[in-house]
Structure 1
Amino acid sequence: MGQEASIAEEASTDPNDVMVHAGSVTKTFGQGAGKITALDAVSVDIRKNEFFTLLGPSGCGKTTLLRLIAGFELPDEGQILLDGQEIGHLPPYKRPVNTVFQSYALFPHMSVARNIGFGLEMQGRPKSEIKEAVERMLALVQMEHLADRRTDQLSGGQQQRVALARALAPRPKVLLLDEPLSALDLKLRKEMQIELKRLQSETGITFVFVTHDQDEALTMSDRIAVMKSGAILQVGRPKEIYNNPARRFVADFIGDINILDGDLTDNGAHVILPSGVQVGALLAEGAAREGRVSVAVRPENMGLTEPGAPDAALKGRVSNIVYFGAGHNIHVELDGGGEVLVRRAQTNAQLGSEVGLTVPDTVQVLVD
């Protein structure tokens, strides 16, 4: 019998380990013909002390779910618990969460230190506590030397560090981050990905991060929830999401993928490819155990061999070779139609040459 990959591993989560619980949350906007369902009975558990990412295209509902946790929106149905307590009745300023938005909303006339301490001042905290918190946050984001500088004199990356320090200063239970890296250039964005993960690890605070960037999600997250059209399609660790996507959308959305046709046999234990080659089947929840199916194979998990080699599962002709620095993308037109992508660090393949293609011993079966 084929192995089964869970679409959402939340069922096994220890309730004592849950920081944020969304239970059958539905949120709609508008009325009548213009009514839009932003979230459709979404349920998910976000664990304590983890970096959890909501990933999906624009309009999938990820920011709406973030705003519900923050209290900027209220659910039409369902409930949201924070550390086991219902928070639906609490206004945003009474929830033990803070939010960092795409625009950092810093006060340009204030110093870095004043910006970091501003929230604590508004809460009426003692001056000694504010001073201690500001010094701790300056050290955490490595900006002690810029404490007296005005924020309009800082770079984009430095401004983001100030925004993070300000949000972390009150020690919230959850930090919500709404695509905070989108305004940064590529190199700085890569640097801040490492910085964000460091901050989460050092503070132990639960981070809930919203992005449409797959690389960001894979780089920083402990777990990822992939969303589409107001629903969560799969929850898992980055390697699980990348190597064993359960849904066709997840497979196609996360990096490059080859999707091949096949026929399930042996009660879902094997897949027979069009060439007649039989490989093992890894089944997702809800996948059929017989009949025509689609399977997913990452380009780096496909290999090139001689067309008549015993291990050649498919045959084709090399149509294009693209060098991208770290390796080569080799495009192969399949005999019988279709194209696959093979990724190799080095290659002797030649344009127009006939090749055989190898696939892993076990392949992921997709649910549409």
Structure 2
Amino acid sequence: MPGDTSNTREIAIDARKISKIYRGEDEVRALDNVSVRIRRNEFFTLLGPSGCGKTTLLRVIAGFEPPTSGQLWLNGKDISRLPPNKRPVNTVFQNYALFPHMSVANNIKFGLEMLGKPKAEINQTVEEMLTLVQMQAMKARRTSEISGGQQQRVALARALAPKPEVLLLDEPLSALDLKLRKEMQMELKRLQHETGITFIFVTHDQEEALTMSDRIAVMSAGKILQIGSPQEIYQRPAERFVANFIGESNFLDARLSGGSVTLKAGGTFPVENPANVADGDVSVLLRPEHAFLSDAEDALPARVETVVYSGEATSMHTRLEQSGEPVKLRLANAPTGSGMPEEGAQVRIGIQPGALSVLKD
């Protein structure tokens, strides 16, 4: 399977050729022969647009959806037919599903009581969880009386309290404002590191995935297109869909020969070829931050179409003169905030060494 060389003993979740088909007037293949291995003590993210199958895969792992075909293994045991309450897995949902009339402490306590844990153990675990999520001062407050970010922490504490082998997180940050969401990204990563529990996180937000994950699986149309570290997914996407979904992208036409490409816009450059695409006409990826303004004779002539200032950087939309292809640059702003070409100006664009990557369409 793409992007995985794990030893079997290191695997927490082993999904083997999982398919999920919803039959009705129109058959929907939500998961299409998906195989993925997720390691123990890993922060693993399922990333993709709405309808790509990421939440369906999460629900199959949780036991809420039976697969149409395939097998699911957890720490070496086949759990394909186990009901949700028999799986050592917990889920944090988008809406948190807290009891508003209960205190913070009692919300955390509830699941442990349902499991029949001894009272002393329950009380000790609740205190440990309150400390872990930094909610000791709020333990007597009703969850209806605390903020969204605090509710998020309580939901995490409740899910972590039974010490599950795997924690599933279904877009749990989507209801938070931008600043709080960024804070909780760091909080989730800290919790995963401190507990040593395997986290499987579902999101459509590329920044969340890049910020928190040890590895990312990019999904589309019920399939996993690529698995890799954030750096691998961003810097060496194997497919055009992955490159386009993760970050901002420029796509340029070129001719591949060996380890270099000749751009339609002019110039020959060495390239990465992660998908092992055959020589011939290809599309190559150039990230906006890997292009720059240059006075060199071999730089690509272009004309500036729009200039957008965004504080720490300026986005410059240009069009290459030889090929007519659009190229976006993202340039760091100088402390004085000046010195950028204006709209309509003629410029030359340089490309950083190793910045071009061949894509599979």
Structure 2: how far apart are the matches of 1:255 and 1:47?
26
Contact 1:284 1:367 in 2 (8 A): no
Q: Does 1:65 align with 2:54?
A: no
What code does the residue aligned with 1:73 have?
E
Q: What does residue 291 of structure 1 align with?
A: 280
Q: 2:332 aligns with which of 332, 340, 345?
A: 345
Structure 1: how far apart are the matches of 2:61 and 2:246?
26
Contact 2:277 2:358 in 1 (8 A): no
Structure 1: how far apart are the matches of 2:83 and 2:187?
30
Contact 2:277 2:359 in 1 (8 A): no
Q: TM-score, normalized by length of structure 2?
A: 0.96
Q: What does residue 351 of structure 2 align with?
A: 359
Q: 1:329 aligns with which of 315, 318, 333?
A: 315
The structure whose RCO (Cα within 8 Å, separation 6+) is larger is 1
Q: What secondary structure does 1:216 align onto?
A: helix
Q: TM-score, normalized by length of structure 1?
A: 0.94
Contact 2:252 2:325 in 1 (8 A): no
Structure 2: how far apart are the matches of 1:276 and 1:148?
68
Q: How does 1:248-287 map to 2 (within 5 A)?
A: 248-266=240-258, 269-285=259-275, 287=276
Mark the runs of 5 or more structure 1 residues left unpaired by the alignment: 1-6
What code does the residue aligned with 1:319 have?
E
Q: What does residue 14 of structure 2 align with?
A: 21
Q: What secondary structure does 2:273 align onto?
A: strand
Q: What does residue 187 of structure 2 align with?
A: 195
What code does the residue aligned with 2:264 have?
P
Structure 2: how far apart are the matches of 1:225 and 1:321?
34
1:57: Cα distance to partner?
Answer: 0.3
Structure 2: how far apart are the matches of 1:197 and 1:334?
42
Instruction: Provide the aligned C-alpha RMSD in A.
Output: 1.2
Q: Which moved more, 1:163-172 or 1:184-193?
A: 184-193
Q: Does 1:315 align with 2:305?
A: no
Q: How does 1:48-87 map to 2 (within 5 A)?
A: 48-87=40-79
1:198: Cα distance to partner?
Answer: 0.7
1:110-167 CA-to-partner distances (Å, cap 9, x unmatched) read: 1111100100100111000100100000000001111111111010000110000000
1:361: Cα distance to partner?
Answer: 2.9
What code does the residue aligned with 1:90 have?
L
Contact 1:56 1:62 in 2 (8 A): yes
Q: What secondary structure does 1:284 align onto?
A: coil
Structure 2: how far apart are the matches of 1:288 and 1:102?
40
Q: What does residue 174 of structure 2 align with?
A: 182
Contact 1:246 1:366 in 2 (8 A): yes
Structure 1: how far apart are the matches of 2:210 and 2:75?
26
Q: Does 1:30 align with 2:23?
A: yes
Q: Does 1:9 align with 2:29?
A: no
Q: What does residue 130 of structure 1 align with?
A: 122
Structure 1: how far apart are the matches of 2:314 and 2:277?
35
Q: How does 1:157-176 map to 2 (within 5 A)?
A: 157-176=149-168
Contact 2:265 2:320 in 1 (8 A): no
Percent identity over paired residues? 58
Mark the runs of 5 or more structure 2 residues left unpaired by the alignment: 334-338
Q: What does residue 44 of structure 1 align with?
A: 36
Which runs of 4 or more aligned residues in structure 1 lie more than 4 Å from their structure 2 counterparts after TM superposition? none
What code does the residue aligned with 1:71 have?
G
